[in-house]
Structure 1
């Protein structure tokens, strides 16, 4: 079955997308053209934009913590900030954020939610700079502090991806742990599963990847991730 038969993909009648976009002819390095901001996709549903992002980048998505997850960090971080904005700590967080001094803020405010958030953002920065060993440690520390929040799974996912980038075999194990962790928010578990499946495929373990993808796809609660998993299963057929 082709991508054209994907149930609500960009070929849906109300979401007709120019073929040059669908075929991925727009350069991946052209920052003016992104899935979320692309003017050509202005009237396309958000789920379909995510689908198209996966279609364009499925072979490379394993190399980065998804930008969508960065958005989630931003949303949850804003909630934490607004809940504490009357405090001097919130003012310090705002200053640290604007001066790129989140690492020191995190150290000075260890044990607090805003300190943990700053630690998670610092880990993301290290990851983006390809300092995976340092990022892994920072993610692990932030996971401990964020255990009672939705961002706990985000920190574990970052830790697992950092591990994968330095040691693929160990990283596959870590991703599997996140995917199997019932205390992790469902969206992060599903994301871990998708990355796990991609890693397994890269390692020549397609049978294992199929099991993971089938588990994600059969759960409608996984939303867009269930659809992405179903699409990847078609590629394995």
Structure 2
């Protein structure tokens, strides 16, 4: 039986991860190909033999011909150590999360990190893994990963904000109200927290009602 803490993660009011997934589905192929072109440019500039132009063109062609999850998974495994392979794995993780397959999603987010090092999506994969673990009922593991991510000075503001907010939601669901308030305070400290400031305010209102 899954932990009751999952409920708030599924609600529209706190589905911040769903917003990221929606954006991903709209921009998926454009983002992937743009990153592929950037990687090719950097590799050519640096004279790296590993990323040969012919191989990159073959990989692009293979990516554009992907039609189903079986082909996507095979592509992801073949190019696991490359950014494009990592991003395909990331998209598979997002799909698994949306279908409620949280343990599978957590595993795929972890695998996606291999090819995403030194890219802006590496933190996104770490965030997804933490959220998926909590949704799968493995709150302690998920929260541990999110804390580490949020406190890392190299983490982008919006990723750190979502990590802290997710921790606040988890503590709220567990009725650990003082910890919830502490994490909300961390969200407010981030100048570029964006939408998570408003989400934090909504959760804070619920928190105030719960502690009365």
Structure 2, unaligned stretches of length 5 or more?
1-8, 38-55
Q: 1:79 to 1:200 in 2, by over 3 A?
A: same
Correspondence for 1:79: 31
Correspondence for 1:178: 149
Indicate the RMSD between aligned Cα atoms, in angstroms. 2.5
Provide runs of 4+ in structure 1 moved above 4 Å: none
Correspondence for 1:99: 68
Q: Distance in 2 between matches of 1:108 and 1:215?
A: 40
Q: Distance in 2 between matches of 1:83 and 1:197?
A: 33
Q: Distance in 1 between matches of 2:175 and 2:12?
A: 19
TM alignment of 1:1-237, pairs within 5 A: 57-58=12-13, 61=15, 66-74=17-25, 75=27, 78-84=30-36, 87-96=57-66, 98-100=67-69, 101-164=71-134, 165-237=136-208
Contact 1:133/1:166 (<8 A) preserved: no
Helix, strand or coil at the partner of 1:166: coil
Which structure's relative contact order is higher, taking Cα pairs within 8 Å and 6+ residues apart? 2
Contact 2:146/2:163 (<8 A) preserved: yes
Instruction: State the TM-score, normalized to the length of structure 2.
Output: 0.73
- The offset of 1:220, in angstroms, is 2.4
- The offset of 1:77, in angstroms, is 5.5
